[in-house]
């Protein structure tokens, strides 16, 4: 009986992102039923633009669909990065920005906005400085040709604070009438700028990083046994850590470059997945991906439809995530299985 329930729950979670997307794509100030939304999507898939209501077609295909796709990608990617890094560092508080990638990417985007560069350069600057931040953290973590996990994490904390100081400096010198509001709003996280052209730049990076981490999900379990045990099983621990860090960095930097700083997704979703399915990463990895994708779609839908002015998604993820995380800690007794 338990096996049937477990299978049913697993199938439901796997299908959750699709169901949530179909429901949320019709929600907004211009509301559509699920049947109408499906008809518009079918017309778009067949390359037909002769749908009876041109406004409905434009709203669904040109405005909401890119946001839904971006929310799915970023939610999936951030959750997977959080899961992988928590397994890598054996730390339940590890999140995708633990090595300073979010702060570095945020600085790159803020710098591009300060210089009035277009969206393409905002994404490129965010990617470059996000990767640079992690490279500095890895360099700090190397001591006498050996890599120290503790030093690497401490290096990530230092790098994060350093780039946050740089962001504050940019906000200080930015024009208060035009540049500062744009930088501040972008840093709070939003999917407003989601376009198909932006997805073409960031989506391949996220998907490649997700594919790497998904293929390594079995080996993530071995890291919890310790370095010596992993080496005795034929695992190159140094190479595995490098793959996990680089893939997670690529994902996080690409997500930040497209939708700004989004917190809590990569910290909260892995915990929910482990609460449901234990500590086996072969199960936790795909489950956390599905939960993260569905969660961010719901958050973005609420952000754009709850009030007349769109709410930054980082505010909503914190308001929802923090109390829920406290409940998880109380329920599990702060024990990480």
pLDDT tens column, 153-166: 888 999 999 999 99
Nearest to 13 by CA among 215, 196, 273: 273
* The two structure tokens encoding residue 332: 């599990």
Domain-located, residue 159: yes
More confident residue, 330 or 192: 192
Per-residue pLDDT at 168:
95
Is 31 part of a structural domain of the chain?
yes
State the residue range of the domain holding 128: 2-332
How far apart, in whole angstroms, are the C-alpha atoms of residue 139 and residue 301?
40
- Residue 289 belongs to some domain of the structure: yes
pLDDT above 70 coverage of the chain, percent:
93
CA pair distance 325, 24, nearest whole angstrom: 24
The residue-averaged pLDDT of 173-193 equals: 88
Query: How many distinct structural domains can be found in the chain?
Result: 1
Task: Give the tens place of pLDDT for each residue, 10-32.
Answer: 899 999 999 999 999 999 888 88
Where does residue 28 rank: exposed (0-12), middle (13-18), buried (19+ CB within 10 A)?
middle
Q: Is residue 104 a part of any domain in this protein?
A: yes
- Asked if residue 122 is part of any domain, the answer here is yes
Asked if residues 257 and 109 have their Cβ atoms less than 8 Å apart, the reply is yes
Q: Does residue 205 lie within any of the structural domains?
A: yes
> The whole model's pTM is what?
0.89
Q: What is the CATH number of the domain that holds 134?
A: 1.10.3470.10
Q: Is a pLDDT exceeding 50 seen at residue 220? A: yes
- Report how far Cα 104 is from the mean position of its chain's Cα atoms: 15
Domain contains 337:
no
Say yes or no to pLDDT of 3 above 50.
no
């Amino acid at each position: 009986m338990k096996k049937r329930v477990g299978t049913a729950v697993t199938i439901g979670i796997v299908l959750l992102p699709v169901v949530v997307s179909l429901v949320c794509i019709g929600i907004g100030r211009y509301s559509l039923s699920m049947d109408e939304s499906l008809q518009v999507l079918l017309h778009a898939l067949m390359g037909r633009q002769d749908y009876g209501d041109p406004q409905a077609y434009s709203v669904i295909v040109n405005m909401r669909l890119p946001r839904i796709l971006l929310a799915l990608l970023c939610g999936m990617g951030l959750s997977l990065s959080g899961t992988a890094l928590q397994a890598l560092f054996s730390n339940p508080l590890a999140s995708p920005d633990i090595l300073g990638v979010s702060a570095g990417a945020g600085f790159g985007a803020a710098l591009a906005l300060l210089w009035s560069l277009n969206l393409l350069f905002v994404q490129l600057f965010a990617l470059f400085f996000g990767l640079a931040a992690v490279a500095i953290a890895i360099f700090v973590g190397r001591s006498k040709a050996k890599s120290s996990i503790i030093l690497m994490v401490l290096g990530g904390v230092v790098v994060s604070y350093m780039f946050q100081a740089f962001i504050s400096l940019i906000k200080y010198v930015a024009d208060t009438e035009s540049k500062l509001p744009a930088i501040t709003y972008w840093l709070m996280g939003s999917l407003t700028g989601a376009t198909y052209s932006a997805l073409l730049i960031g989506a391949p990076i996220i998907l490649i990083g997700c594919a790497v981490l998904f293929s390594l999900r079995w080996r993530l379990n071995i890291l919890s046994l310790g370095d010596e045990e992993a080496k005795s099983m034929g695992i190159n621990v140094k190479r595995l850590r490098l793959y996990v860090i680089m893939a997670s960095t690529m994902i996080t930097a690409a997500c930040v470059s497209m939708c700004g700083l989004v917190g809590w997704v990569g910290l909260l979703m892995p915990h929910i997945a482990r609460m449901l399915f234990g500590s086996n990463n072969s199960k936790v990895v795909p489950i956390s991906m599905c939960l993260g994708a569905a969660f961010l779609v719901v958050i973005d839908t609420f952000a754009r439809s709850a009030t007349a002015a769109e709410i930054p998604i980082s505010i909503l993820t914190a308001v929802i995530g923090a109390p829920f995380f406290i409940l998880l800690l109380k329920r599990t007794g702060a024990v990480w299985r």
